[in-house]
Amino acid sequence: MTIGFLGAGNMASAIVRGLSETGSVGTDIFVYDVDESKAMALFEDCGSWVCESAEQLVEKADVLVICIKPQVFPVALPPLREALAASHPLVISIAAGKTLTEIASFVGGSLPIVRVMPNVAAKIGEAVTAYCGNEWVTAADYELVARLFESVGTVLPLPEAQFGIFSVLASCSPAYTFLYMDALSEAGVLGGIPKETALKIVGQAVLGAARLMQETGEHPRVLADSVCSPGGTTIEGVKALQQAGFESAVLGAAAASLEKDKKL
């Protein structure tokens, strides 16, 4: 089996490196990118093959992973329809906002198409990835998709109707979290701790809180309450966050990201 990556940007590179490091799917990997240096970097790091054109990539791939920007679809994909019809690969798209129907309109009908949404933590093998497929996708195809993306984290099937909000929860939220962590580290600087040290403290604190929720299965509100001693420092801070509209701001950010996703 051969897997072709159309595009060699950050997410494609993370997936290729994950496959290379875990060896979870024994296969040959081919890559094409209009920026040849990106494809060559993966060749040098992972031993993946570099194709000279998108058409050559399609001809060689049993599985084609589309890793280009959704805005490029109308230009990059229609010229490949003939080659795709001939090779009939399993098509996987990681593009935000592009539905299975829209993807099919660019690559041609009757192809098995799986829509996949990983997040930035794929770079360190800690992504959360959702997937769904059209009527041409077989159980074996789904199993293969799950194995491919387990190389970079956790994978779960999800109805396509929920992909927009999944993108917000999984793909947008790291940016929200990074901003929170930076703001908290600034509080550390105000309190006399160097920024680099504050970032280490905050990073571990956030990681520990996430792991605690995952491993105990406790509701996050219950865990928050457990940290708030009566009359203590934590409840005072929680009260200040609530008065400043912290929860409303998070909901507003999610709503704004979801609205943008609908317009892609």
In order, the DSSP letters of 184-195 are HHHHHHHTT--H
**Tally of structural domains, the chain:** 2
How much is the pLDDT for 175? 96
Q: Which residues have a Cβ under 8 Å from the Cβ of 20 and sit 6 or more positions away?
A: 29, 45, 46, 47, 48
Domain match, 179 and 219 both? yes
Domain match, 170 and 147 both? no
Write down which residue in 111, 131, 158 finishes a domain.
158
pLDDT band for position 26 (50/70/90)? low
Residue 145 domain boundaries: 2-158
How much is the pLDDT for 23? 66
Domain match, 34 and 82 both? yes
Structure token digits, residue 97: 């906002």
Q: Per-residue pLDDT tens for 76-131?
A: 999 999 999 999 999 999 998 899 999 999 999 899 999 999 998 998 999 999 99
Domain match, 102 and 21 both? yes
Find the mean pLDDT for residues 186-204: 98
The mean pLDDT value of the chain amounts to 94
Angle between helices 10-22 and 36-46 (to 10 degrees): 20
Contact (Cβ atoms closer than 8 angstroms) between residue 224 and residue 238 = yes
Q: Is residue 24 exposed (0-12), middle (13-18) or buried (19+ Cβ within 10 Å)?
A: middle
| Alpha-carbon gap, residue 187 to 157, rounded angstroms | 40
How much is the pLDDT for 80? 97
Closest CA to 127 of 146, 147, 144, 150: 150
Distances (CA, A) of 262 to 98, 181, 254: 9, 28, 13
Domain match, 144 and 41 both? yes
Write down which residue in 158, 180, 196 finishes a domain.
158
Provide the percentage of residues in the chain whose pLDDT is more than 70.
98
Backbone angles phi, psi at 257, to 5 degrees: -65, -40
Contact (Cβ atoms closer than 8 angstroms) between residue 146 and residue 131 = yes
Domain match, 221 and 141 both? no
How much is the pLDDT for 47? 85
- Other CB atoms within a 10 A radius of the CB of residue 18 amount to 23
CATH code for the domain in which residue 198 is found: 1.10.3730.10
Q: Per-residue pLDDT tens for 133-160?
A: 999 999 999 999 999 999 899 999 999 9
CATH code for the domain in which residue 111 is found: 3.40.50.720
Closest CA to 117 of 22, 206, 48, 15: 15
Write down which residue in 117, 138, 158 finishes a domain.
158
How much is the pLDDT for 46? 86
Half-sphere exposure of 239 (CA within 13 A, CB side): 9
Domain match, 146 and 173 both? no
pTM of the model: 0.87
